[in-house]
Amino acid sequence: MPSPLADKHRALLLRVGAVAVLVVVVVASYRLFISRGPAPLVVYCAHDSIYADGILRAFEARTGIPVAVRYDTEATKSLGLVEMILEEKAAPRCDVFWNNEVLGTMRLQKSGVLHPYKGPGFDRIPASFKDPDGHWVGFAARLRVWIVNTNRLRASQETVDGFLAGPLDRVAIAKPLYGTTFTQYCILWNLWGEQKLKSWHGDCRARGIREVAGNAQVRSAVAEGTCDLGYTDSDDFFVAKDDGKPVAMLPIRLEDGRTICIPNTVSIIEGTRRPAEASQLADYLLSQETEVALARAKSRQIPLGPVNEADLPEEVVRMKAWAAEGYPLSALGSAPEACLAWLKAEYVQ
Judgement on whether residues 137 and 212 belong to the same structural domain of the protein? no
Q: Return the SS3 of 295.
A: helix
Domain-embedded: residue 347 = no
Q: What angle do CA 291, 136, 262 make, to 5 degrees?
A: 55
Q: 76-120: per-residue pLDDT in tens? A: 455 689 999 999 999 999 999 999 999 999 999 999 999 999 999
Q: 48-81: per-residue pLDDT in tens? A: 999 999 999 999 999 999 999 999 865 445 568 9
Q: How many domains does the chain have?
A: 2
Question: What is residue 349's predicted lDDT score, i.e. its pLDDT?
Answer: 62
* C-alpha–C-alpha distance, residues 244 and 119, integer Å: 42
Domain-ending residue, one of 206, 225, 259: 259
* C-alpha–C-alpha distance, residues 129 and 120, integer Å: 15
Per-residue confidence band for 15, with pLDDT thresholds at 50, 70 and 90: low
Judgement on whether residues 233 and 153 belong to the same structural domain of the protein? yes
Domain-embedded: residue 57 = yes
Q: 115-163: per-residue pLDDT in tens? A: 999 999 999 999 999 999 999 999 999 999 999 999 999 999 999 999 9
Judgement on whether residues 76 and 137 belong to the same structural domain of the protein? yes
Q: Structure pTM?
A: 0.85
Domain-embedded: residue 336 = no
Judgement on whether residues 223 and 290 belong to the same structural domain of the protein? no
Q: 210-234: per-residue pLDDT in tens? A: 999 999 999 999 999 999 999 999 9
Question: What is residue 167's predicted lDDT score, i.e. its pLDDT?
Answer: 98
Judgement on whether residues 192 and 244 belong to the same structural domain of the protein? yes
Other beta carbons within 10 Å of 70: 14
Question: What is residue 37's predicted lDDT score, i.e. its pLDDT?
Answer: 61
Question: What is residue 330's predicted lDDT score, i.e. its pLDDT?
Answer: 84
The DSSP output letter for 303 is P
Query: What would the DSSP string read from start to end of 196-260?
Result: HHHHHHHHHHHTT-EEESSHHHHHHHHHTTS-SEEEEEHHHHHHHHHTT-SEEEEE-B-TTS-B-
Q: Containing domain of residue 134, as a range?
A: 41-141+261-327
Instruction: Tell me the CATH number at 214.
Output: 3.40.190.10
Domain-ending residue, one of 208, 240, 259: 259
Judgement on whether residues 308 and 237 belong to the same structural domain of the protein? no
Judgement on whether residues 239 and 305 belong to the same structural domain of the protein? no
Domain-embedded: residue 311 = yes
CA-based nearest residue to 75, from 211, 176, 179: 179
Amino acid at 246: P
Q: 166-195: per-residue pLDDT in tens? A: 999 999 999 999 889 999 999 999 999 999
Judgement on whether residues 166 and 237 belong to the same structural domain of the protein? yes
Domain-embedded: residue 33 = no
The DSSP output letter for 107 is H
Judgement on whether residues 121 and 187 belong to the same structural domain of the protein? no
The DSSP output letter for 310 is G
Judgement on whether residues 294 and 248 belong to the same structural domain of the protein? no
